[in-house]
Amino acid sequence: MPAYRLILLALASSAIAHAELTLGVPAIELKPKPEDEEVQTIFKFRNTGEKTVKILGLESACSCLSSELDKAEYKPGEEGTGTATFKVSTFVGRHEKIVIATTDDPKQPEWQIHFILDVPAVVDIKPKTLQWFIGDAAAPKSCLVQFTGDEPMKIVQITPTRENVSFEWKELKEGREYLITVTPKTTQDITLGALKIETNSAIAKYRHQLAFFSISRKPEPEAAAKP
């Protein structure tokens, strides 16, 4: 085979060779316990491409999630190790987060590492906001507070942030369910307030919860469509 053809084949092979960092799973799942302030996980990945890849930077889309890799360069076929730390804070439920690694590979300039954070709910308040419109009857409305964690809790005190409502609460299931009933003294003024709910939870971040109430203007009815 002529030498120039060998050179062209070598150039073509070089052009299509690329790195490819892969996790082997769609996403890394983190499942903190209710009492966890943060949770950490170690994950594995591999360079399944045909050339060495260099990590130029690592950035999280959320300040709650940080990550680092064990080194900066990975050869073809080489396995790498990463560490991710998630600050749980007040997160509840299922959340998707992304860490982006920038690389020197033009075929994969950004490698997205997907995380699923599944934080169990311990307190559930439905509805979270009790709402009245200006001019409505000042009728009582209620919300249900449920403690769904492993350990039961009790409401020990409720404090409203506004004085133009009265309230009461009763225990429906011991340590598990409470009904809070709020009655506005008047619905003539726009109001936005909260009930500060104090519990006896052994976990500090669940000792203080909020439920909301509002009095707002009624939305204007949509104009009738003209024929």
Please give the share of the chain, as a percent, with pLDDT higher than 70.
89
User: What average pLDDT does range 199-211 have in this prediction?
Assistant: 92
Per the DSSP assignment, residues forming a β-bridge with 59 are 100
Q: What's residue 85's pLDDT? A: 94
Residue 120's pLDDT is 86
pLDDT tier at 149 (50, 70, 90 boundaries)? confident
Under 8 Å between Cβ of 86 and 116: no
What is the domain-level CATH number for residue 142?
2.60.40.10
Gap between the Cα atoms of 144 and 134, Å rounded: 24
Lowest mean pLDDT among 29-33, 89-93, 160-164, 173-177: 89-93
- In angstroms, the Cα distances linking 73 to 52, 100, 215 are 7, 16, 59
| 127 in the same domain as 86 | no
Looking at residues 46-55, what average pLDDT do you find? 94
Residue 171 forms beta bridges with which residues?
A: 178
pLDDT value of residue 3: 41
Burial class (CB in 10 A: 0-12, 13-18, 19+), 220: exposed
Residue 25 shares a structural domain with residue 114:
yes
Say yes or no: 187 and 113 in one domain. Answer: no
Same domain, yes or no: 32 and 49: yes
Could you please report the per-residue DSSP string of 82-146?
EEEEEE-TT--EEEEEEEEEEES-TT-SEEEEEEEEEEPPSEEEESSEEEEETTS----EEEEEE
3-state SS, residue 24: coil
Residue 134 falls inside a structural domain: yes
Domain co-membership, 98 together with 165: no
For 201, counting Cβ atoms within 10 Å of its Cβ (0-12 exposed, 13-18 middle, 19+ buried), the class is: buried
**Is 189 strand, coil or helix?**
coil
Q: Is the pLDDT of residue 43 over 50?
A: yes
Residue 48 lies in a domain: yes
What pLDDT was estimated at residue 150?
87
Burial per residue of 126-161, b for 16 or more beta-carbon CB atoms within 10 angstroms, e otherwise: eeeebebeeeeeeeeeebebbbebeeebebeebebe
Determine the structural domain holding residue 179 and report its residue range.
123-216
The one-character DSSP state at 11 is H
Q: Does residue 78 carry a pLDDT above 80?
A: yes
User: Do the domain assignments include residue 195?
Assistant: yes
Residue 19: what pLDDT? Answer: 58
Tokens of 96: 């998707």
Domain boundary among 84, 119, 154: 119
pLDDT recorded at residue 205:
85
Domain count, the chain: 2
Taking the C-alpha atoms of residue 204 and residue 197, their distance in angstroms, rounded to an integer, is 13
* Confidence class for position 204, pLDDT limits 50, 70, 90: confident
pLDDT digits (tens, 9 = 90+) for 84-134: 999 988 788 899 999 999 999 998 999 999 999 998 889 999 999 999 999
Mean pLDDT of 42-60: 95
Give pLDDT, residue 222.
67
| pLDDT of 190 over the 50 cut | yes
Task: Based on the fold, state whether residues 95 and 167 are members of the same structural domain.
Answer: no
Cα(71)–Cα(100) distance, integer angstroms: 15
